[in-house]
Structure 1
Amino acid sequence: MFAISVEFLFGTYRGDPDGTANMGRQQPGEWPPAPSRLFSALVAADGTRDACHVTDGRELCWFERLPAPRVHADARVNHQPLHTRYVVKHASGQGIGAAGRAKWAQKEYVARGAAPVRPGTRVSVRDPRVVYRWEVAPPPAEILASLRRRAARVGYLGAADSPVRLRVGEEPAGRLPAAWEPDENGDIVLGVPQPGDVGVLDRMHDQWRQRGASVARLQFPALHRQTRYRSPGHRGSERSGGEVVAWLRLAEPVAGRRIGVLTGLFKAAVLSLYGRLHGDVPAVLHGHGFDASGYEIARFLGLPDVGHEEATGRVQGLALWLPATADAEVRGKAQVAAFGLRRLVGRGLDVGVVALAGEGISPSPRGASLWPEAWVGPSRRWATAVPAIHERRKSLDIDELGRWCEHAGLPRPVGFREARGPFVVGGVDLAPAEVIRPGRPGLPYSHVEVWFEKVVVGPVVLGSGRQRGFGLCTPLDETIA
């Protein structure tokens, strides 16, 4: 047994796991604090390599190899969204300009503008203690001593206004709060360190020293590893299998009617770059060469703006989904290829592509469709944002829809309704020529709303056009946080 206890000295915690706080859209706050936050705090406490003062860094290599821990934390928390505030922007050499003078001018500071600061959401806890427990053998004495020295130097977790006190030991004292358990069918995701993270951080630091501010966090996707956890009292869920390895955003929105063209260009670009970077493209990406039925292949998804009053249906982002049968090496290489895309050009489209990050995205409801939560759920009720192409030429009933769900790796539904037009605001409404590919037999297509007995974790994609992103669904009932 090995455990680290964290006590929040102010009884509050503030963190921004995915950049949504910078957009003013973080709701609710992050809870419990991800294990990756604890790892980052330990790294910052005494640095790595020559920057170490009271340790030699070996304890970090031991720590990053630990499995996902059990997280004990009080589930009774209050989420307090903090108001956006404006601070003086100390820009040297230039004024704020005529265009921005009225909106951004600081009355007390002549010729200086204001910059918005969006602090996100503060979580207030009843029990200020969080305990991370690993069911592993305790570390050697020298490793344990080094971890304790690092823990003594940690001042805060998450934001700087969340001061903490850490204790490192083999067994936490006292009665523990409820536990968040690692579970592939869990209802939340938390960042977890993985082997090699210390090396990635060192490379990031070296690159920053050489190139300065041009080094961006999104250039090192290997640091981003999320693990599903089951929250206390969660009744369980069904997953669609597989995972999204890359979320991307478009420099400019594309009309929803071009979604088939866009996902086709996305697929071609990923396959081309994968081949140039890594050699032979695996069958799971291109979909050819399978000898039997029942296999799953990659899905190239377009993410339209749907589900809110201002929804336009324009495609704002892209996602690459790979089935669970794809091994870790293929997933990693495909992610590198997807993140390496810069433009998609062809068939009348020319649009820039960047890896999804918090900067540059408007903090309005129209940015919501870019974030994974808009497509992952979990939820019991889903509706197509992009029409689903039928698998056979027959009327759709509950048995036929159950067949679709089985093919997509989903449980059988308990109810549904079907319509020619979308059920959600902004849902993409397409003409036959925008769905049926030239030279292919034309199958019926429609929008559907589906109910499952248990909550289902997405992305949920139904029908025969799954690889091209047709049949992509959005959760309808309130997301379980």
Structure 2
Amino acid sequence: MLSVTVEFLHGTFRADPDGTAHTGRLEHGEWPPSPSRLFAAFVAADGTRDRCRHTSGAELSVFVGAPPPVIRASTASEVHHQRLQPRFIVKQEGKAHGGTQQEYVGRIAVEVRPGVRVSARHPRVQYCWPIEVGEDDFRALQVRAARIGYLGCADSPVRVRVTDADAEARLVPTTAFEPDPSGEVAISVPAAGHLEALDAAFDEWTAEGGSVGRSQFPALINKERYRSPGAASTPSAKGGVAVTMVLRPAVSARRISQVTATFKAAVLKHYQAVHGEPLPELHGHGFGSTGYDTARYLALPDVGHAHAKGRIHGVALWLPATAPDGLAAAVRAAAARIARLDGTGINVGVEMWDGQRRPGSVRPSRWSGPAQHWVSVFPAIHERHRQVTLAEVSRWCANAGLPAPVAVRNSRSPLIAGAARLASVEVHRQGRPKRPFSHFELWFDEPISGPVVIGSGRQRGFGLCLPLGPPTAAQPRSHRG
């Protein structure tokens, strides 16, 4: 096992988790410090390529090819987030301007928004990867660790050790954030292509200066689900979301078919340009009838509140758990090349979601639950020409990799504010069989994690459901509405 222990020498940690600190709206800092941030610190410690002075750089591949680590850190209840006040500093360049500083003739003041400082009960965090590392790589990582002076911002000095896990166990918290597809926390971890993306960012920053930011390199975004200490593991739909993107401007919900079809075509086009022929998991051809082993291209609408208009603000690509290793990273790299979705009736800009708070409908947590109560935002296409019963919908859920519901209600009309009311021509593809479609409300015995998508059109976004929070005492037990 590879163990990396980070000790915060001042007992505090300050970092910008999603690139929004400069807006002054950041309310919570990053906790626990992400493995991606630690990886970037290792990269910066001795550089890469011809900038390496004390190592070869080959040891960095240990992190890229490893599964997400277990993170032993203070729990959320043991962490205090202190929102720092903006301050003004003297601008260090430029000619004299109006409104200059009296103390510094010819200089102007610049507002700085420092973000949030995090103070944890335990000043140490440990990352444990269940992998074996060769002696040369292990020693090289120790050299890099000794050269790391801070993590996040420069006022967060650290001491980093690369050791055996058992040797550090008594020095770190016993609570741990565990990788779990049904977890409620999303934490950024290194993935294939991250080292190349960091090199590209460094090269551009060297040429262009401070105008270059990490938001310009969406390939660096790779978030995995974690279960925080004390949280119960919940059943989940098999697989996970590999790509989330924002549409600018938003699109009418009536164009869901065009949006998801154009998104799929763009992903396949750029995947083929970078990696060659797309795999069956992406295009959906060549499979049997197992139901949930192909990708789902989802449209993410604004729904569920009094002012919801149902417009599509983003798209997401869900991959099954059976997808080959590395496919998620390859798809993210391909999606990062997409600048516009241009198809039949669709021509909008698109960019990778980088963790920003708005639009809220694009946040993965909006669709992940866990919850017992779910309601459709796009109508689900019936899988067979049969009466809608609890047994029939349970069959659909099984085909989608979900447990059987204990109650279900269906309606031709939307069941939540902003949900799409579509005509037959907006649901069915030309030349394809036409089946009934309707909106659904589902209840399960236990909370499940999403995204929950049911019906025969789930590969193109139909049947997407929204979690409605904890169950109530008025939970219906009938199977039809």
Under a length normalisation based on structure 2, what TM-score does the superposition of the two structures give? 0.81
1:61 deviates by: 4.2
Distance, in Å, in 1 between the alignment partners of 2:12 and 2:148 is: 16
1:368 deviates by: 0.8
Distance, in Å, in 2 between the alignment partners of 1:244 and 1:94 is: 51
Q: 1:174 aligns with which of 170, 173, 181?
A: 170
Distance, in Å, in 1 between the alignment partners of 2:12 and 2:233 is: 29
Distance 1:393 1:20, change over 3 A: farther
The corresponding residue for 1:77 is: 78
1:315 deviates by: 0.8
Distance, in Å, in 2 between the alignment partners of 1:427 and 1:283 is: 31
Distance 1:470 1:52, change over 3 A: same
Give yes or no for the alignment of 1:368 onto 2:360.
yes
Q: Is the 8 A contact 2:406 2:443 kept in 1?
A: yes
Alignment length (residue pairs)? 463
1:224 deviates by: 3.5
The corresponding residue for 1:15 is: 15
**Equivalences for residues 106-117 of structure 1 within 5 A:** 117=113
1:70 deviates by: 2.3
Give yes or no for the alignment of 1:416 onto 2:418.
no
Q: Is the 8 A contact 1:2 1:138 kept in 2?
A: yes
Look up the equivalent residue of 2:469 and give its one-letter code: D
Distance 1:466 1:136, change over 3 A: closer
Q: Is the 8 A contact 1:70 1:179 kept in 2?
A: yes
The corresponding residue for 2:474 is: none
Distance, in Å, in 2 between the alignment partners of 1:372 and 1:477 is: 15
Instruction: Note the residue ranges of structure 2 that are not aligned, 5 or more in a row.
Output: 471-481
Give yes or no for the alignment of 1:338 onto 2:338.
no
The corresponding residue for 2:304 is: 307
1:262 deviates by: 1.9
The corresponding residue for 1:123 is: 118
Q: 1:225 aligns with which of 198, 209, 222?
A: 222
Give yes or no for the alignment of 1:384 onto 2:376.
yes
- What is the CA deviation profile of residues 371-405 of structure 1, one whole-angstrom value per residue up to 9, with x for unaligned ones? 22222233333222222222233443322221121
Look up the equivalent residue of 2:405 and give its one-letter code: P
The corresponding residue for 2:464 is: 472
Distance 1:465 1:28, change over 3 A: farther
Distance 1:53 1:292, change over 3 A: closer
Question: After alignment, is 247-256 or 146-155 more displaced?
Answer: 146-155
Look up the equivalent residue of 1:11 and give its one-letter code: G
Distance 1:459 1:16, change over 3 A: farther
Distance, in Å, in 1 between the alignment partners of 2:251 and 2:375 is: 21
- What is the CA deviation profile of residues 295-316 of structure 1, one whole-angstrom value per residue up to 9, with x for unaligned ones? 6322221111123444321111
Distance, in Å, in 2 between the alignment partners of 1:423 and 1:83 is: 43
The corresponding residue for 2:189 is: 192
1:89 deviates by: 10
Q: 1:435 aligns with which of 400, 404, 427?
A: 427
**SS in structure 2 at match of 1:335:** helix
Give yes or no for the alignment of 1:163 onto 2:157.
yes
Look up the equivalent residue of 2:378 and give its one-letter code: V
The corresponding residue for 2:314 is: 317
1:21 deviates by: 4.9
The corresponding residue for 2:479 is: none
**SS in structure 1 at match of 2:404:** coil
The corresponding residue for 1:398 is: 390
1:74 deviates by: 1.9
- What is the CA deviation profile of residues 53-83 of structure 1, one whole-angstrom value per residue up to 9, with x for unaligned ones? 5555454344555543322112132453737
1:253 deviates by: 1.0
Distance 1:74 1:336, change over 3 A: closer
Q: Is the 8 A contact 2:8 2:157 kept in 1?
A: yes
Give yes or no for the alignment of 1:5 onto 2:38.
no
Look up the equivalent residue of 1:419 and give its one-letter code: S
**Equivalences for residues 37-186 of structure 1 within 5 A:** 37-53=37-53, 55-62=55-62, 64-75=64-75, 76-80=77-81, 82=83, 85=86, 117=113, 119=115, 121-136=116-131, 140=135, 146-170=140-164, 171-172=167-168, 174=170, 176-186=173-183
1:2 deviates by: 4.1
**SS in structure 2 at match of 1:238:** coil
Distance, in Å, in 1 between the alignment partners of 2:299 and 2:88 is: 37
Q: Is the 8 A contact 2:192 2:326 kept in 1?
A: no
Q: Is the 8 A contact 1:3 1:168 kept in 2?
A: yes
What is the aligned-residue RMSD (CA, Å)? 3.8
Q: Is the 8 A contact 2:284 2:295 kept in 1?
A: yes
Distance, in Å, in 2 between the alignment partners of 1:443 and 1:19 is: 45
Q: Is the 8 A contact 2:260 2:460 kept in 1?
A: yes
Distance 1:214 1:475, change over 3 A: same
**SS in structure 2 at match of 1:45:** helix
Instruction: Note the residue ranges of structure 1 that are not aligned, 5 or more in a row.
Output: 97-104
Give yes or no for the alignment of 1:263 onto 2:264.
no
Look up the equivalent residue of 1:471 and give its one-letter code: G
Q: Is the 8 A contact 1:13 1:124 kept in 2?
A: yes
Distance 1:210 1:13, change over 3 A: closer
Q: Is the 8 A contact 2:19 2:215 kept in 1?
A: no
Look up the equivalent residue of 1:240 and give its one-letter code: A
Distance, in Å, in 2 between the alignment partners of 1:163 and 1:39 is: 16
Q: 2:248 aligns with which of 248, 251, 256?
A: 251
1:217 deviates by: 4.1
Distance 1:161 1:182, change over 3 A: same
Identity %: 46
**SS in structure 2 at match of 1:285:** helix
1:342 deviates by: 2.5
Give yes or no for the alignment of 1:452 onto 2:444.
yes
Distance 1:385 1:3, change over 3 A: same
- What is the CA deviation profile of residues 238-289 of structure 1, one whole-angstrom value per residue up to 9, with x for unaligned ones? 2212232221111211122222222222233334444555554443333334
- What is the CA deviation profile of residues 325-365 of structure 1, one whole-angstrom value per residue up to 9, with x for unaligned ones? 3324554544344332222334433222222236xx7x6xx
Under a length normalisation based on structure 1, what TM-score does the superposition of the two structures give? 0.81
Q: 1:238 aligns with which of 205, 213, 235?
A: 235
Give yes or no for the alignment of 1:201 onto 2:201.
no
- What is the CA deviation profile of residues 182-222 of structure 1, one whole-angstrom value per residue up to 9, with x for unaligned ones? 33443333233346644543344335445667866466555
Distance 1:43 1:312, change over 3 A: same
